[in-house]
Chain A
Amino acid sequence: MSKALLYDATLCIGCKQCEAACAQQNKLPYDDRVAAESVQSEHKYTVVMTKDDKFMRRLCMHCERPACASVCPVGAFHKTKEGPVVYDVWKCIGCRYCMVACAFAQPKYEWGSLNPRVRKCIMCPDRVTAGKQTACADICPTGATKFGDRDDLIQEAQARIRDNPSNYQPRIYGLHEVGGTCVLILSSVNVEDYGYPASAKIGDTPMPEYTGRVMERIPDFIPVWSLVLGGIYWISHRRDEVAAAEDVENNRRTR
């Protein structure tokens, strides 16, 4: 069963301990200056944003069917069965298609490096496979970020909305978006106001299907189109051959 994170913005107090724990887990620098940065970057995989006293966290959504994994020409990204979408840096050629394709604009790039890597939250795969929770969920003092089985977390999120409807917008962001994600978000405000793409805009279709519809035709297209082209070639050249053969024939007869 796939693991997931449930982020309940109404419980978040904006302490940014998840940011610090994430940085420590991924061996990234973290100080007051980094803490003050309100955007994700190659050295900040997750960010807690503040707007009108409300908080909102951003991190890789770990899609059930990730666009980054489907578009990578060398398969440097893959979805693990536990849920995290992870990155094999040694395969990467640096085409940055993952960055362009991601509906949530999560992959960031080491633009200043001479051997740049794509950077994003990888959902602490070592901890998760070892049966532990992610660093951010582990440290969260209020339970705003909660780690667990995706199905359980969905039930819990639905229960929270049911028990306290005035506190929440009646939806779980990530339940159906792009076919479902392993980060689920509950909030009293519009997640779109914090930079998340609107549900209507990204839709419920898993992103790989948009290109898959075309890619799956290619194995059929290649033999059919080769035959058509070869056929046209043969027909247009057969005429010449026949004409040439007739010439020879005629020459022989006249002789």
Chain B
Amino acid sequence: MKIKLTFWRAVFLVIMAMGLYSTFVRYFHGLGAISNMSDQFPWGLWIGFDCLCGVMLAAGGFCVIGAVYLFNVERLHSVVRPAVLTAFLGYLLFIVGLLFDLGRPWYIWHQLIYMNPHSVMFEVGMCVMAYTTVLFFEFLPNVFEKFNLNAPIKWIKRIYPVLIVLGILLSTLHQSSLGSLYLIMPGKLHPFWYTPALPFLFFGSAIAVGLAMTIFESTQSAKAFGRHLELPVLVSLGGALLVALWVNALLRFEDYFHRGMLGQIIKPSYEAYFLWLELILAFVIPITMLSFRKVRLSPQGLYLASIFTVLGFITNRLNVSLTGFETYVGHHYLPKWTEFSVTLMIIAMGFALFGVAVKYLPIFPEEEHTVNTVLVKARQPEVDEPVLSHAGD
């Protein structure tokens, strides 16, 4: 265990060192020096992975919050805090990623004053800003609880219903709008991926990946922090994931069917290989696995199925943002190593911050008995001051 830890710390240091070097290149020599982006490929790995995939990977927060607070899935209570933490860190790191990708990041606040309501990018920007704020408030009770500040916990408890509804509303908007970004490129994006259904597909995949990521991170945390794995939690998540995957698969099929693409997608071509890879990873493997009851009841099986799901939908988004443009542009885009190193650094920061937060904040319940008080209290409004009492009269 100790050797393993030092190994990962060494890896972390190497990644950070390379990342810092790349950061230097980025800010002192410009985007051209650090990346293989060009006038033909103005959006590269950072938009494709850091932004599109990053936001999708952070979707667990609103999925779990929705399940627990809207649909009363009590069993998932113990994963609310880690899911909110992951989402909060995910969005913070998304913004860090933007600071690398934007040509003039020091003007990022222009969004707030030079608003263009016709722009999908504007909508995504505003939603991400607002949602990060919501996540901040959803995350705050961890800090207050740590320092035994009961008054502010009470305030947050009061606004919790608003935070929940607002968080899910904003997530619906920007998760789907990331797909809408590409609607304006009908002549450029390959027809395998260009479809008017893009916003629906992006929202659907966010839910599937949100659930898969929650399984992944629960299992991973159990391993890393020596916690015992709550199988009923994973099992319910696995069941939901299977449903989400089927819905996604049906959406994709319907889309190809209605656009008459079924004949084309089975014909071998450069794009078809990437599409097959995506479909196999995102649908064929995890759906097959999860169809077996034995897999749905086994932590390892669920863990593996969730990894395939995540990899599959990452492939999907990279296809939408990178592969799908290669034929139009006429050449391939391969990120420079410095682009990779920035992305790796951001991921490594995410893991490190998660570890720090878990170490110092009450993210995971100590054991089943010492319940996480804030959220449970928020869930069970006292009769004398019910949270939404006026709405019921």
Contacts and interface: CB of A to CB of B under 8 A. Distances in A.
B191 to A, nearest CB: 11
A218 B174 CA distance: 11
B107 A92 contact: yes
B168 interface: yes
Contact of A111 (B32, B118, B166): B32
B107 to A, nearest CB: 5
A36 interface: no
A71 B119 contact: yes
A182 B119 CA distance: 22
A221 B114 CA distance: 23
Contacts of B42: 96, 99-100, 109
Contacts of A244: 380-383
Contacts, number: 184
B342 to A, nearest CB: 16
B114 A210 contact: no
Contact of A241 (B37, B168, B381): B381
A175 to B, nearest CB: 17
Interface in B9-56: 27-33, 37-40, 42-43
A99 B41 CA distance: 9
A34 B38 CA distance: 19
A63 interface: no
A111 B39 CA distance: 8
B383 A115 contact: no
Most buried by B among A75, A112, A197: A75
B110 A91 contact: yes
B184 A74 contact: no
Nearest to A201: B187
Interface of A: 41-42, 67, 70-76, 91-97, 99-101, 103, 105, 108-109, 111-116, 197, 201-203, 207-208, 210-215, 218, 221-222, 225-226, 229-230, 232-234, 236-241, 244-245, 248
5 contacts: A95-B121, A112-B33, A113-B30, A210-B184, A234-B392
Interface of B: 27-33, 37-40, 42-43, 69-72, 101-105, 107-108, 110-111, 114-123, 125, 161, 164-166, 168-169, 172-173, 177, 180-181, 183-188, 196, 199, 379-383, 386-389, 391-392
